[in-house]
Amino acid sequence: MSTRVFTVVFTVVLSVFLAFSSLSELPGWAAPFPQQADSAPQSQLLAQAATTPQSTSFVSAAVNRVGPAVVRIDTERTITRNPDPFYSDPFFRRFFGDSFPTQPFEQRLQGQGSGFIVDGNGTILTNAHVVENADRVTVILKDGRSFDGEVTGVDEVTDLAVVKINIRGEGLPTAPLGNSDQVQVGDWAIAVGNPLGLDNTVTLGIVSTLNRSSAMVGIPDKRLDFIQTDAAINPGNSGGPLLNERGEVIGINTAIRANAMGIGFAIPINKAKEIMPILERGEQVSHPYLGVQIASLTPDLARRSNSDPNSTVTLPEVNGVLIVGVVPNSPAASAGLRRGDVVTQIEGQPVTTADQLQSIVDRSRTGQSLRLTVKRGNQTQQLSVRTAELQPSALR
């Protein structure tokens, strides 16, 4: 019996020992629970979380910086229309009477666009086509304040305009201007404006390409190298700012193409910086021109043209700028330039693209004489063309 009792007692003691050994290896049991007597109540923690500032995106920061300076521009203008001759037809009037107009009548047109304030004196940059020929301009700020706007200057060629408002002693928000020469393809692009009558709209994209000429965009009546972006730009965005990720204005939204899908264009802000002081003073911006329609030419293009039996001109197979057409009574016509001529140098500088030639002309002065090296068939000639002041009607 003693042996059996000893065996039972030993088994019980061993089981208890093993049980306590197992419990000591469990983390939840090996150490006491931490004391939370000094911890803040749950309601206090929730209140503290609610008041802790949350991080914002760079887009929000940029828009918060510039948004108050973006304005809506409402315009009105009166035009005179002539009645449809159909209304004056005796046969028509026999059946419909005299209820239709037979004399010229006036019609009021309303428009809308965007702009942004650039200084505390109430100077606003926008597109020329937003305010051109307007009889009345009303500027509406984001905070609801409304001002009568005065158009001090319009430049149709660069599609830029300056509007001034009377600040009436009240402070105005302003948009910081960046440096469009530092913009790179792939940079963030934030478009702000009032598209389709929807105030204070923001869209985001990137800079798709730089120096997209107005001729390539299909706007021959402008002289600009655009910033191209995939940020959505819709009617009403015209004149609004295109921002970088720091909230600086790098361009002015414009040039919407009806057939464009996800492509928008903006005037580089550095171009606006050049022209804005002139428009503020109410002066005309000078644009020298030659009076030619041009296209880039390569030897391959020349060979293909020369092999066409319907071609009326034999082109030199060189790199240069082809004269496609000459405007009558223009400086080019007076200098003797002809359709089919190929310009290979201007002022001693080789030119191989139409954009290069146009850029050199744009940087010249009105009345300046430019020396051109021209290939005409197998001959090379030196011609001198004196630039004249471009009139908007000459671009149409």
pLDDT in tens, 81-136: 666 665 555 655 555 555 555 666 566 777 888 999 999 889 999 999 999 888 89
15 is a domain residue = no
The total number of structural domains that make up the chain: 3
pLDDT of the residue at 81: 64
Q: Both 292 and 273 in a single domain?
A: no
Closest CA to 380 of 311, 332, 325, 320: 320
Amino acid at 61: A
95 is a domain residue = yes
Amino acid at 255: A
Q: Both 276 and 296 in a single domain?
A: no
Can you tell me the distance from the alpha carbon of 168 to that of 174, in angstroms, rounded to the nearest whole number? 16
The residues with which 380 forms a beta bridge, in sequence order, are 375
Closest CA to 348 of 389, 379, 315, 384: 384
Structural tokens at position 314 = 């034999």
Q: Both 77 and 153 in a single domain?
A: yes
CATH of the domain at 223: 2.40.10.10
Residue 58 has pLDDT above 80, yes or no: yes
Between 355 and 28, where is the model more confident? 355
Q: Both 138 and 185 in a single domain?
A: no
Buried b (16+ CB within 10 A) or exposed e, 203-217: bbbebbebebbbbeb
| Phi, psi (rounded to 5 degrees) for 140 | -120, 120
pLDDT of the residue at 246: 94
37 is a domain residue = no
CA dihedral 326, 331, 333, 334 (to 10 degrees): 180
Q: Both 210 and 230 in a single domain?
A: yes
Can you tell me the distance from the alpha carbon of 342 to that of 373, in angstroms, rounded to the nearest whole number? 8
pLDDT of the residue at 12: 43
- Residues 348-372 have a mean pLDDT of 90
Domain encompassing residue 314: 288-395
Whether 123 and 150 have beta carbons less than 8 Å apart is answered as no
59 is a domain residue = no
Q: Both 272 and 307 in a single domain?
A: no
Give the predicted TM-score (pTM) of the model.
0.71
Q: Both 271 and 349 in a single domain?
A: no
Can you tell me the distance from the alpha carbon of 140 to that of 145, in angstroms, rounded to the nearest whole number? 6
- Enzyme catalytic residues: 129, 159, 238
Residue 318 has pLDDT above 70, yes or no: yes
229 is a domain residue = yes
Q: What are the helix and strand counts (H, E) for the chain? A: 12, 20
Going by pLDDT thresholds of 50, 70 and 90, the confidence category of residue 6 is very low
Q: For the chain, what percent of residues have pLDDT higher than 70?
A: 74
Query: Which of 221, 248, 280 delimits the end of a domain?
Result: 280
Whether 153 and 139 have beta carbons less than 8 Å apart is answered as no
Query: Which of 140, 165, 190 delimits the end of a domain?
Result: 165
